[in-house]
Chains A and B, each alone.
Chain A
Protein backbone atom coordinates (compact mmCIF):
# COMPACT_ATOMS: atom_id res chain seq x y z
CA UNK A 1 0.00 0.00 0.00
CA UNK A 2 1.24 3.46 -0.85
CA UNK A 3 2.15 5.39 2.25
CA UNK A 4 2.27 9.15 2.58
CA UNK A 5 5.41 10.56 4.14
CA UNK A 6 5.56 14.16 5.15
CA UNK A 7 8.10 16.76 6.04
CA UNK A 8 7.36 20.02 7.80
CA UNK A 9 9.66 23.02 7.74
CA UNK A 10 9.36 25.66 10.46
CA UNK A 11 10.35 29.26 9.81
CA UNK A 12 11.25 29.35 13.44
CA UNK A 13 11.72 33.08 13.90
CA UNK A 14 8.09 33.78 12.89
CA UNK A 15 6.76 31.48 15.64
CA UNK A 16 4.98 33.10 18.59
CA UNK A 17 4.71 29.91 20.63
CA UNK A 18 0.88 29.82 20.63
CA UNK A 19 0.86 25.99 20.55
CA UNK A 20 -2.15 25.73 18.20
CA UNK A 21 -0.18 23.47 15.83
CA UNK A 22 0.43 20.99 18.67
CA UNK A 23 -3.36 20.54 19.08
CA UNK A 24 -3.98 20.03 15.35
CA UNK A 25 -1.43 17.26 14.69
CA UNK A 26 -3.18 13.87 14.31
CA UNK A 27 0.01 11.94 15.19
CA UNK A 28 1.04 14.28 18.03
CA UNK A 29 4.60 14.94 16.92
CA UNK A 30 4.54 18.76 16.93
CA UNK A 31 5.97 19.98 20.24
CA UNK A 32 7.30 23.22 21.67
CA UNK A 33 11.09 23.20 21.87
CA UNK A 34 11.66 24.10 25.52
CA UNK A 35 15.44 24.04 25.07
CA UNK A 36 15.56 26.93 22.64
CA UNK A 37 14.28 30.49 22.34
CA UNK A 38 13.69 32.20 19.00
CA UNK A 39 14.35 35.81 17.98
CA UNK A 40 10.94 36.91 19.33
CA UNK A 41 11.63 35.32 22.73
CA UNK A 42 9.29 32.32 22.44
CA UNK A 43 9.93 28.60 22.58
CA UNK A 44 9.38 27.69 18.91
CA UNK A 45 7.30 24.78 17.66
CA UNK A 46 9.26 21.90 16.23
CA UNK A 47 9.05 18.24 15.21
CA UNK A 48 11.54 15.78 16.66
CA UNK A 49 10.21 12.55 15.08
CA UNK A 50 9.87 13.64 11.47
CA UNK A 51 9.60 10.07 10.16
CA UNK A 52 6.14 9.80 11.79
CA UNK A 53 4.83 12.82 9.84
CA UNK A 54 2.05 11.98 7.38
CA UNK A 55 2.10 15.35 5.62
CA UNK A 56 -1.55 16.16 6.32
CA UNK A 57 -0.89 19.89 6.61
CA UNK A 58 -3.12 20.40 9.66
CA UNK A 59 -0.38 22.20 11.60
CA UNK A 60 0.21 24.63 8.74
CA UNK A 61 -3.55 25.12 8.30
CA UNK A 62 -4.08 26.20 11.89
CA UNK A 63 -0.86 28.22 12.28
CA UNK A 64 -1.85 31.90 12.56
CA UNK A 65 1.60 33.16 11.57
CA UNK A 66 2.35 31.07 8.47
CA UNK A 67 5.41 29.55 10.15
CA UNK A 68 5.05 26.10 8.61
CA UNK A 69 5.65 24.67 5.13
CA UNK A 70 4.64 21.10 4.36
CA UNK A 71 6.01 18.64 1.81
CA UNK A 72 4.58 15.23 1.07
CA UNK A 73 5.88 12.23 -0.83
CA UNK A 74 4.18 8.95 -1.58
CA UNK A 75 6.27 5.83 -0.87
CA UNK A 76 5.27 2.68 -2.67
Chain B
Protein backbone atom coordinates (compact mmCIF):
# COMPACT_ATOMS: atom_id res chain seq x y z
CA UNK B 1 0.00 0.00 0.00
CA UNK B 2 1.58 3.20 -1.07
CA UNK B 3 0.67 6.60 0.26
CA UNK B 4 0.91 9.95 -1.49
CA UNK B 5 3.48 12.01 0.38
CA UNK B 6 3.42 14.93 -2.00
CA UNK B 7 0.90 16.25 -4.49
CA UNK B 8 -0.23 19.61 -5.80
CA UNK B 9 -2.00 21.56 -3.07
CA UNK B 10 -5.62 22.65 -3.43
CA UNK B 11 -4.37 26.09 -2.42
CA UNK B 12 -3.09 26.62 -5.97
CA UNK B 13 -5.11 26.77 -9.17
CA UNK B 14 -4.21 24.49 -12.08
CA UNK B 15 -2.61 27.32 -14.04
CA UNK B 16 1.14 26.77 -14.69
CA UNK B 17 3.38 29.52 -13.29
CA UNK B 18 4.75 32.08 -15.77
CA UNK B 19 7.99 32.51 -13.79
CA UNK B 20 11.46 31.95 -15.30
CA UNK B 21 13.02 28.48 -14.89
CA UNK B 22 14.32 28.04 -11.34
CA UNK B 23 12.58 31.13 -9.95
CA UNK B 24 11.74 30.48 -6.30
CA UNK B 25 8.44 32.39 -6.50
CA UNK B 26 6.89 29.05 -7.47
CA UNK B 27 8.14 27.42 -4.27
CA UNK B 28 6.85 30.27 -2.11
CA UNK B 29 3.45 30.32 -3.87
CA UNK B 30 3.14 26.62 -3.19
CA UNK B 31 4.06 27.01 0.50
CA UNK B 32 1.40 29.69 0.98
CA UNK B 33 -1.16 27.51 -0.83
CA UNK B 34 -0.27 24.49 1.31
CA UNK B 35 -0.53 26.51 4.53
CA UNK B 36 -3.94 27.95 3.55
CA UNK B 37 -5.15 24.44 2.74
CA UNK B 38 -3.78 22.93 5.98
CA UNK B 39 -5.33 25.67 8.11
CA UNK B 40 -8.64 25.09 6.32
CA UNK B 41 -9.06 28.76 5.48
CA UNK B 42 -9.11 28.64 1.66
CA UNK B 43 -12.80 29.52 1.70
CA UNK B 44 -12.27 32.71 3.67
CA UNK B 45 -8.82 33.77 2.50
CA UNK B 46 -8.38 36.97 0.53
CA UNK B 47 -4.96 37.65 -0.97
CA UNK B 48 -3.62 40.92 -2.28
CA UNK B 49 -1.22 40.68 -5.22
CA UNK B 50 1.59 43.21 -5.73
CA UNK B 51 3.25 44.76 -8.75
CA UNK B 52 6.40 42.98 -9.85
CA UNK B 53 7.06 39.50 -11.17
CA UNK B 54 4.32 38.14 -8.91
CA UNK B 55 1.75 40.57 -10.32
CA UNK B 56 -0.26 37.62 -11.67
CA UNK B 57 -0.37 35.93 -8.24
CA UNK B 58 -4.16 36.31 -8.39
CA UNK B 59 -4.23 33.68 -11.14
CA UNK B 60 -2.37 31.14 -9.03
CA UNK B 61 -3.86 31.20 -5.52
CA UNK B 62 -7.07 29.24 -5.22
CA UNK B 63 -8.81 31.83 -3.06
CA UNK B 64 -10.24 35.31 -3.48
CA UNK B 65 -7.59 37.71 -4.70
CA UNK B 66 -7.27 41.43 -5.25
CA UNK B 67 -4.67 43.44 -7.14
CA UNK B 68 -3.11 46.54 -5.61
CA UNK B 69 -1.18 49.50 -7.00
CA UNK B 70 2.59 49.25 -6.70
CA UNK B 71 3.56 48.97 -3.02
CA UNK B 72 0.03 49.56 -1.76
CA UNK B 73 -0.93 45.96 -1.01
CA UNK B 74 -0.86 46.48 2.82
CA UNK B 75 -3.19 49.49 2.48
CA UNK B 76 -5.63 47.51 0.31
CA UNK B 77 -5.37 44.55 2.69
CA UNK B 78 -6.13 46.87 5.63
CA UNK B 79 -9.36 47.93 3.96
CA UNK B 80 -10.36 44.35 3.14
CA UNK B 81 -9.63 43.09 6.66
CA UNK B 82 -11.53 45.93 8.32
CA UNK B 83 -14.59 45.38 6.14
CA UNK B 84 -14.38 41.58 6.43
CA UNK B 85 -12.82 40.97 9.87
CA UNK B 86 -13.60 37.23 9.71
CA UNK B 87 -11.60 36.69 6.55
CA UNK B 88 -7.93 35.72 6.42
CA UNK B 89 -6.12 38.47 4.55
CA UNK B 90 -2.59 38.27 3.21
CA UNK B 91 -0.36 40.27 0.91
CA UNK B 92 2.33 38.74 -1.29
CA UNK B 93 4.99 41.30 -2.14
CA UNK B 94 8.47 41.50 -3.58
CA UNK B 95 11.34 43.67 -2.42
CA UNK B 96 10.87 46.34 -5.07
CA UNK B 97 7.23 46.57 -4.10
CA UNK B 98 7.50 46.35 -0.31
CA UNK B 99 10.94 47.78 0.51
CA UNK B 100 11.00 50.65 -1.96
CA UNK B 101 7.78 52.25 -3.21
CA UNK B 102 5.67 50.57 -0.52
CA UNK B 103 7.81 51.33 2.56
CA UNK B 104 5.28 53.76 4.05
CA UNK B 105 2.41 51.30 3.62
CA UNK B 106 4.19 48.35 5.20
CA UNK B 107 5.60 50.38 8.11
CA UNK B 108 2.22 51.87 8.96
CA UNK B 109 0.29 48.63 8.48
CA UNK B 110 2.69 47.14 11.05
CA UNK B 111 2.49 50.25 13.22
CA UNK B 112 -1.32 50.09 13.33
CA UNK B 113 -1.06 46.38 14.11
CA UNK B 114 -3.32 45.43 11.20
CA UNK B 115 -4.37 41.81 11.52
CA UNK B 116 -2.98 40.79 8.15
CA UNK B 117 -0.14 38.54 7.04
CA UNK B 118 2.55 39.65 4.61
CA UNK B 119 4.73 37.31 2.58
CA UNK B 120 7.78 39.36 1.60
CA UNK B 121 9.90 37.85 -1.16
CA UNK B 122 13.39 39.35 -1.08
CA UNK B 123 15.56 38.54 -4.10
CA UNK B 124 17.73 41.67 -3.87
CA UNK B 125 16.81 42.99 -7.32
CA UNK B 126 13.92 44.29 -9.43
CA UNK B 127 12.97 41.26 -11.50
CA UNK B 128 10.09 42.20 -13.77
CA UNK B 129 11.53 45.49 -15.01
CA UNK B 130 14.85 43.92 -15.97
CA UNK B 131 17.26 43.79 -13.03
CA UNK B 132 17.53 47.30 -11.61
CA UNK B 133 19.03 47.95 -8.18
CA UNK B 134 16.58 47.55 -5.30
CA UNK B 135 16.98 48.87 -1.72
CA UNK B 136 17.83 45.28 -0.82
CA UNK B 137 20.59 44.83 -3.44
CA UNK B 138 23.84 43.78 -1.74
CA UNK B 139 26.99 45.93 -1.71
CA UNK B 140 28.98 45.08 -4.82
CA UNK B 141 26.08 43.26 -6.47
CA UNK B 142 25.69 44.23 -10.11
CA UNK B 143 22.39 45.52 -11.44
CA UNK B 144 21.47 47.36 -14.64
CA UNK B 145 21.38 50.64 -12.69
CA UNK B 146 24.56 49.74 -10.77
CA UNK B 147 26.75 48.25 -13.53
CA UNK B 148 29.88 48.39 -11.37
CA UNK B 149 28.08 46.95 -8.36
CA UNK B 150 26.19 48.73 -5.57
CA UNK B 151 28.37 51.42 -4.01
CA UNK B 152 27.77 52.08 -0.31
CA UNK B 153 29.01 55.70 -0.53
CA UNK B 154 26.47 56.43 -3.26
CA UNK B 155 23.39 54.41 -2.32
CA UNK B 156 23.90 53.27 1.28
CA UNK B 157 23.64 49.78 2.66
CA UNK B 158 20.88 47.28 1.86
CA UNK B 159 17.69 47.74 3.85
CA UNK B 160 17.01 45.07 6.46
CA UNK B 161 13.24 45.07 6.47
CA UNK B 162 12.67 42.35 9.10
CA UNK B 163 14.98 44.04 11.60
CA UNK B 164 13.29 47.38 10.96
CA UNK B 165 9.75 46.03 11.37
CA UNK B 166 10.68 44.09 14.49
CA UNK B 167 11.19 47.41 16.31
CA UNK B 168 7.49 48.24 15.77
CA UNK B 169 5.15 47.08 18.55
CA UNK B 170 2.24 46.27 16.23
CA UNK B 171 4.31 43.72 14.29
CA UNK B 172 3.67 40.60 16.36
CA UNK B 173 5.34 38.03 14.14
CA UNK B 174 8.52 38.74 12.19
CA UNK B 175 10.69 35.99 10.77
CA UNK B 176 13.25 35.69 7.99
CA UNK B 177 13.56 32.38 6.16
CA UNK B 178 15.19 31.12 2.99
CA UNK B 179 14.30 28.60 0.28
CA UNK B 180 17.79 27.55 -0.85
CA UNK B 181 17.39 23.86 0.06
CA UNK B 182 14.69 21.38 1.03
CA UNK B 183 15.33 21.70 4.79
CA UNK B 184 15.01 25.48 4.68
CA UNK B 185 11.90 25.26 2.50
CA UNK B 186 10.27 23.15 5.22
CA UNK B 187 11.30 25.73 7.85
CA UNK B 188 9.89 28.50 5.65
CA UNK B 189 6.55 26.70 5.53
CA UNK B 190 6.46 26.47 9.33
CA UNK B 191 7.13 30.21 9.61
CA UNK B 192 4.39 31.05 7.09
CA UNK B 193 1.98 28.83 9.00
CA UNK B 194 2.79 30.58 12.27
CA UNK B 195 2.32 33.99 10.66
CA UNK B 196 -1.19 32.97 9.58
CA UNK B 197 -1.90 31.53 13.04
CA UNK B 198 -0.99 34.90 14.55
CA UNK B 199 -3.62 36.49 12.33
CA UNK B 200 -6.21 33.80 13.17
CA UNK B 201 -5.54 34.41 16.89
CA UNK B 202 -6.22 38.12 16.28
CA UNK B 203 -2.80 39.10 17.61
CA UNK B 204 -1.71 41.63 15.02
CA UNK B 205 0.52 42.05 12.04
CA UNK B 206 2.71 39.19 10.82
CA UNK B 207 5.41 39.18 8.17
CA UNK B 208 7.64 36.44 6.79
CA UNK B 209 10.62 37.60 4.74
CA UNK B 210 11.66 34.88 2.31
CA UNK B 211 15.13 35.11 0.77
CA UNK B 212 14.67 34.21 -2.86
CA UNK B 213 16.61 34.07 -6.12
CA UNK B 214 16.40 35.72 -9.52
CA UNK B 215 18.55 33.54 -11.82
CA UNK B 216 17.66 35.56 -14.93
CA UNK B 217 18.67 38.99 -13.62
CA UNK B 218 21.52 37.74 -11.45
CA UNK B 219 22.93 36.17 -14.63
CA UNK B 220 23.36 32.71 -13.10
CA UNK B 221 21.90 29.25 -13.50
CA UNK B 222 19.19 28.32 -10.99
CA UNK B 223 21.57 26.05 -9.04
CA UNK B 224 24.30 28.72 -8.96
CA UNK B 225 21.70 31.20 -7.73
CA UNK B 226 20.78 29.05 -4.74
CA UNK B 227 24.47 28.78 -3.87
CA UNK B 228 24.93 32.54 -4.27
CA UNK B 229 21.94 33.15 -2.00
CA UNK B 230 23.40 30.87 0.67
CA UNK B 231 26.90 32.35 0.47
CA UNK B 232 26.10 36.05 0.01
CA UNK B 233 22.60 36.89 1.13
CA UNK B 234 22.32 34.86 4.33
CA UNK B 235 25.45 36.43 5.95
CA UNK B 236 23.94 39.91 5.42
CA UNK B 237 20.31 38.92 6.02
CA UNK B 238 20.57 36.47 8.94
CA UNK B 239 17.78 33.90 9.14
CA UNK B 240 15.69 33.59 12.24
CA UNK B 241 12.74 34.74 14.22
CA UNK B 242 12.68 38.35 15.38
CA UNK B 243 9.33 38.31 17.14
CA UNK B 244 6.64 35.77 18.09
CA UNK B 245 3.70 36.17 20.42
CA UNK B 246 3.58 33.63 23.29
CA UNK B 247 0.41 31.93 21.98
CA UNK B 248 1.96 30.46 18.84
CA UNK B 249 5.45 29.59 20.14
What total count of A-B pairs have CB within 8 Å?
79
- Which chain A residue lies CB-closest to B25? A64
Greatest chain A CB density within 10 A among B3, B6, B23, B186 is at B6
Residue A66 interfacial (CB < 8 Å): yes
| Chain A residues positioned under 8 Å from B25 (CB to CB) | 64
Per-residue B-contact encoding for A28-59, CB less than 8 Å = 1, 0 else = 00000000000000100000000000010110
Known contacts A18-B21, A64-B17, A69 near B222 by CB under 8 Å: no
B7 touches A69 (CB 8 A): yes
Per-residue B-contact encoding for A52-76, CB less than 8 Å = 1, 0 else = 0001011011111110111111000
A20 touches B1 (CB 8 A): no
B186 touches A19 (CB 8 A): no
- Which chain A residue lies CB-closest to B2? A73
Choose one: A19, A58, A73; the contact of B221 (CB below 8 Å): A19
| Chain B residues positioned under 8 Å from A62 (CB to CB) | 27, 179, 181-182, 185
B182 touches A68 (CB 8 A): no
| Chain A residues positioned under 8 Å from B186 (CB to CB) | 61
A69 touches B8 (CB 8 A): yes
Bound Cα distance A14, B12 (Å): 14
A57 touches B21 (CB 8 A): no
A23 touches B223 (CB 8 A): yes
Known contacts A24-B182, A62-B181, A64-B27, A18 near B222 by CB under 8 Å: yes
Q: Which interface class (under 10, 10 to 19, 20 to 34, 35 or more) fits B?
A: 20 to 34
Bound Cα distance A18, B221 (Å): 8
A64 touches B19 (CB 8 A): yes
B19 touches A68 (CB 8 A): no
B6 touches A68 (CB 8 A): yes
Per-residue A-contact encoding for B37-48, CB less than 8 Å = 1, 0 else = 000000000000
A23 touches B226 (CB 8 A): yes
16 further A-B contacts with Cβ under 8 Å, apart from A14-B16, A70-B6, are: A18-B22, A18-B223, A19-B222, A20-B222, A20-B223, A42-B21, A61-B186, A62-B185, A63-B26, A63-B27, A65-B16, A65-B19, A69-B6, A70-B5, A71-B3, A71-B5
Could you tell me which B residues sit within 8 Å of A by CB distance?
A: 1-8, 12, 16-17, 19-27, 30, 179, 181-182, 185-186, 215, 221-223, 226
Could you tell me which A residues sit within 8 Å of B by CB distance?
A: 6-7, 14, 16-20, 22-24, 42, 55, 57-58, 60-66, 68-73
